[in-house]
Amino acid sequence: MNQILEKIMSGKQSDILGDVNLYTHYGLSVAKKLGTKLVDAFASAFSVDDDIRLSYYRDKGIAHAKSGRYAQAVAMLERVWDEDTLDVDVALHLGIAYVKTGSVDQGIALLERAHGDDAANVKVATVLGLTYVQVQKYELAVPLLTQVAEANPVNFNIRFRLGVALDNLGRFAEAIDSFKIALGMRPNEGKVHRAIAYCYEQMGEHEAALPHLKKANEMDDGKGG
């Protein structure tokens, strides 16, 4: 108790708040396990069990990642990952945080690890597939985004990005099919019409490209107006 009081008196405010949150998390966990009141939990013990500490870091780290606070997420989740490399959710959110903070290769490695551990996890496949598109690894992106599109057929972004990946691989007919599905969800999306027109042009089908090019230009003019 004296050590805690000394830390409160002398520590930085950020450190104090972190410790208060951690000890609160600990007290609630002990209370749940033992059926005691929070006050009794604090009175009975002041050392934080490793499992409770890791649980706290895990929950806070994932919350940071979901809220876009990626640097904070890395700081929390790295501590958990060092102790438990079998947690797919930690690998997913730490991988996202790495990518968002510029450690792209490190992030992809974690996302690939998560996908290897749980290949049926649509969330992991989504993030990894979109990340592959971002780094132009289109051959790797296509099977993942195809899997996600089948599981979630009304996701515009997935259908559009799948089309982009197929387009960049020169698989223009397949790209058009994916773009048209995306277009069914957003008929007035200029970038989709333009992508379809480009694919038709690459296939030498100029007449088929014209209506989509015209529509894309109309959409662009509308935005400008």
Write down the pLDDT at residue 16.
Answer: 41
**CATH architecture, domain 139-220:** Alpha Horseshoe (1.25)
Equal fold, 48-118 vs 139-220: yes
pLDDT tens per residue across span 90-110: 999 999 999 999 999 999 999
Dihedral of CA 109/128/167/146: which sign? positive
Q: Which secondary-structure segment (H or E) carries 153?
A: none
pLDDT at 22: 56
**In this structure, is the dihedral angle defined by the CA atoms of residues 49, 46, 79 and 117, taken in order, positive or negative?**
positive
Q: Which of 1.25.40.10, 3.10.100.10, 3.40.30.10, 1.10.3720.10 is the CATH number of 48-118?
A: 1.25.40.10
> 32, exposed or middle or buried, with CB in 10 Å at 0-12, 13-18, 19+?
exposed
Q: Where are the domains of the chain?
A: 48-118, 139-220
User: DSSP per residue over 167-213, as a string?
Assistant: HHTT-HHHHHHHHHHHHHH-TT-HHHHHHHHHHHHHTT-HHHHHHHH
pLDDT in tens, 109-145: 999 999 999 999 999 999 999 999 999 999 999 999 9
Q: Report, as ranges of residue numbers, the positions in the chain whose pLDDT lies below 50.
A: 1-17, 20, 31, 36, 39, 43, 46-47, 224-225
Q: What is the pTM of this model?
A: 0.77
The answer to whether the CB of 70 falls within 8 A of the CB of 47 is no
Q: Cα separation of 187 and 181, whole Å?
A: 10
pLDDT, residue 223, reads: 67
**Surface-to-core class of residue 112, CB atoms within 10 Å of its CB (0-12 exposed, 13-18 middle, 19+ buried):** middle
Q: What pLDDT is recorded for position 36?
A: 47
